[in-house]
Structure 1
């Protein structure tokens, strides 16, 4: 249960006690650095730039390349993919959904992998393997082999996005996280797939879409090696920073009370995930908000093709969707960061989520109501319907920032990305082939999903606001990190830690 007044007294009496099960990996190092002189603003800024230049490009590619691999069937569909595999009825929609069955099945095992094994090395392994699987998909000649490869690809991607957010929370404070999430979580994969998809259009038909799979698979294998060499597992083991910089990196995280990493699995924290109201609010939010993604990822190229554009031109016209997604990410995440700096006593993350979702909702209404012969207007409406990405990323950042305790963090990530999978399995099923190119059922599902997302986010914000007020009544030291010795790096959860405050 959330902290009450008696809980606050109980925690204050347990100086240095660990309720979660094993201290954070930074605890011993923090004690070792206890006599280290405090760092200044110049040192912190210098370190932050060093981290940004090393980590953000890798975290960005960790998102871009899986996104590129994920949408290979939708680009391939423009070059005879459905005909060559003899896909009938709604089988193409199931090719899109199959990826997320694999993702869903492996969500919780991947959470254990992320906790028990080195994160960066695990991500290196799965990226390399999925490159080989993607190449194998290019040799498929029927529905069943393609479904198998899509399920395997989904399972292999399951640790990547959650791992990205865990790495971000190891290195960046809660104030810094939104802008970094906005920088690495973009839609720019369409610029690569659009260019590559246009180029393979010049190849003989029997090699066109297959070459697209082979090229993206080869790139993934090469990149997996890069991750293994250059991405550190955590601040304690990172070799690219000095001992002094390691001290600054760890001390910067102290006030957030979220810890760095803990390899000890805690059953108490596991069960707390499922007792936490925030878990279910964020679960259902991710169910609703990802339905547009599930539908548009697989059917947007066909919608554009249905407007009368050629296959090659359709691949190029898909590129602006990534630009809109990236714009959405920058507007929402940079907006959250700016407002947090400018208005220190205001919580506006949820407001940016709701505002961004309303943009996507309006675009979907236009896409549904505009005449079929209004080609330019319908194309622009389709582009702006991709504005959902920014709100989705802000919400993922809220989820990470509002969770403490390493077992709880990795488990909650599995729950949230499990919801993402369910939604992406459901989403394509609303887009019926017989309803092309308007897809009225799909558009209606997107509108309902946007409305439910907004309502759920409002409830999440209300819960966090009420819980913060309750904690303020029993603890007035939350903003003073000097009195946090009883809870610093003790792997306490946000429920157990009297000093923890939620962002909303």
Structure 2
């Protein structure tokens, strides 16, 4: 290996790693118990020569993985989206009046969920690294269902705040855990389409019919039943996750040993690893010093403002157009269809571009496309006359297009982060940004401005503009860093992966790593 490549490795790798990689082959890593290697290392180099697998064999295995994992991950996200907005549906049935949510107290109930989420983001990241992911999600969702049922018995503002904070803390590991699972089984090229399938807005297809059905109940049990039903669903689903979701490819029981080796081999080129349970302080420090971390933090801070405002106030906006409570719950259902369409369009196009023009980077382009659609919709929602009910309703629906660019950006962050400790730390910081914006956003929706909430819509408009600027800066940084690394590899005259595969190196430490943008 040339002197130039050695110099670069000394700059990018942590002390001691290069000595280990030069003496330990990929196939021998499974015997290294010092915590530096990935759990998948012992499966490396098992499928060469006569043991090599065919493309047809991989496609059959991928279908097997899709049918098992994608539905489980999808309902994990859908259930979370459904449970955290139960208050929005309950608000249509006397929830605010029965619990004394006068003035801006309802806004604070919406924000309280994200205070819990914010508080528990970093600890949940540590738990996701320390404990088996599927088992942790099972326990979390079991308690989460109990909290929802308890919310149905609450009668005052302090109790609601406490329960919503707890609910937020319990949801903190769900989405980061989902993305960790996705990264364990699929390559960076395969992740976008599955992220789109996993992350949809179809929770309204459950909350809408449930909200419509409880409208036939009498007394104050209408809004209470919303929490009891969703809480019961969550407890049942926790049991399903405990039985069917694997912790990682190495311990999974629904695939054979050969299939595990095939999955590991497919992931090898990405250089992102699978899982390492050893906490590494140097990776945390690198995360905090990485410009990409803070650019993605800011992007999620801005792009989540529409989510924080619309999820809590859209039903009240629709009801303010003159519809009954029951009709308002049904009219919320197209918002989920729009979110799902946005997710499928943006992530599907990213997948197609990666398949047919793999040498062209286009993920940020589709993020910008989705933001522009949401931006135009917000302009209409802000400027249309108040008596244009149909136009304002259509603009409200289209404003939910923010979900597509949000999901694509999450996928970009996952694909651009290597090193298990760095992954969980980056995920935690991103979801801290998500929490902060969801705490702030409801405060722009002032009770005295109902049902138009002009300040809230203006905040959404501004957030889209800031999100566009941030994602452009992120893409520019990734482009520059890739060019720098290409020049280094070109000068070295070779590109060897054996010294970095499954070493749990970060994207900064690994000179073979390339960013997608």
Same fold (TM over 0.5): yes
Write out aligned runs for 1:23-102 (5 A). 23-30=37-44, 37-102=51-116
Partner of 2:272: 258
Tell me, in whole angstroms, the C-alpha distance in 2 between the residues paired with 1:249 and 1:218: 36
Tell me, in whole angstroms, the C-alpha distance in 2 between the residues paired with 1:395 and 1:22: 29
Write out aligned runs for 1:67-146 (5 A). 67-146=81-160
Write out aligned runs for 1:146-225 (5 A). 146-225=160-239
Partner of 1:320: 334
Deviation at 1:21, TM superposition (A): 5.4
Partner of 2:391: 377
Partner of 2:416: 402
Aligned pair 1:500/2:501, yes or no? no
- Number of residues of Structure 1 aligned to a counterpart in Structure 2: 500
Task: Find 1:462's aligned residue among 476, 488, 501.
Answer: 476
Deviation at 1:93, TM superposition (A): 0.2
Partner of 1:7: 8
8 A Cα contact 2:5 2:492, kept in partner: no
Q: Which 5+ residue runs of structure 1 have no aligned equivalent?
A: none
Deviation at 1:35, TM superposition (A): 7.2
Aligned pair 1:487/2:500, yes or no? yes
Which region of structure 1 is more displaced relative to structure 2, 227-236 or 241-250? 241-250
8 A Cα contact 1:75 1:197, kept in partner: yes
Tell me, in whole angstroms, the C-alpha distance in 1 between the residues paired with 2:49 and 2:272: 23
8 A Cα contact 2:85 2:311, kept in partner: yes
Tell me, in whole angstroms, the C-alpha distance in 1 between the residues paired with 2:499 and 2:349: 34
Tell me, in whole angstroms, the C-alpha distance in 2 between the residues paired with 1:479 and 1:293: 48
Q: Which 5+ residue runs of structure 2 have no aligned equivalent?
A: 25-33
Tell me, in whole angstroms, the C-alpha distance in 2 between the residues paired with 1:66 and 1:194: 15
Tell me, in whole angstroms, the C-alpha distance in 2 between the residues paired with 1:477 and 1:289: 40
8 A Cα contact 2:38 2:275, kept in partner: yes
8 A Cα contact 1:398 1:503, kept in partner: yes
Task: Give the direction of change, closer, same or farther, for the CA distance of 1:107–1:13 in structure 2 (3 Å limit).
Answer: closer
8 A Cα contact 2:346 2:367, kept in partner: yes
8 A Cα contact 1:8 1:474, kept in partner: no
* Alignment TM-score, normalising by the size of structure 1: 0.96
Task: Give the direction of change, closer, same or farther, for the CA distance of 1:108–1:478 in structure 2 (3 Å limit).
Answer: farther
Partner of 2:432: 418
RMSD, matched Cα = 1.9
**Per-residue CA distance 1:314-353 (angstroms, 9 max, x = gap):** 0000000000000000000000000111112110000000
Task: Give the direction of change, closer, same or farther, for the CA distance of 1:41–1:283 in structure 2 (3 Å limit).
Answer: same
Write out aligned runs for 1:296-375 (5 A). 296-375=310-389
* Alignment TM-score, normalising by the size of structure 2: 0.94
**Per-residue CA distance 1:257-310 (angstroms, 9 max, x = gap):** 000000000000010000000000000101100001000000000000000000
Tell me, in whole angstroms, the C-alpha distance in 2 between the residues paired with 1:104 and 1:259: 27
Task: Give the direction of change, closer, same or farther, for the CA distance of 1:235–1:13 in structure 2 (3 Å limit).
Answer: closer
Aligned pair 1:16/2:16, yes or no? no
Tell me, in whole angstroms, the C-alpha distance in 2 between the residues paired with 1:478 and 1:489: 22
Task: Give the direction of change, closer, same or farther, for the CA distance of 1:114–1:325 in structure 2 (3 Å limit).
Answer: same
Tell me, in whole angstroms, the C-alpha distance in 2 between the residues paired with 1:22 and 1:499: 18
Tell me, in whole angstroms, the C-alpha distance in 2 between the residues paired with 1:328 and 1:195: 22
Task: Give the direction of change, closer, same or farther, for the CA distance of 1:478–1:51 in structure 2 (3 Å limit).
Answer: farther
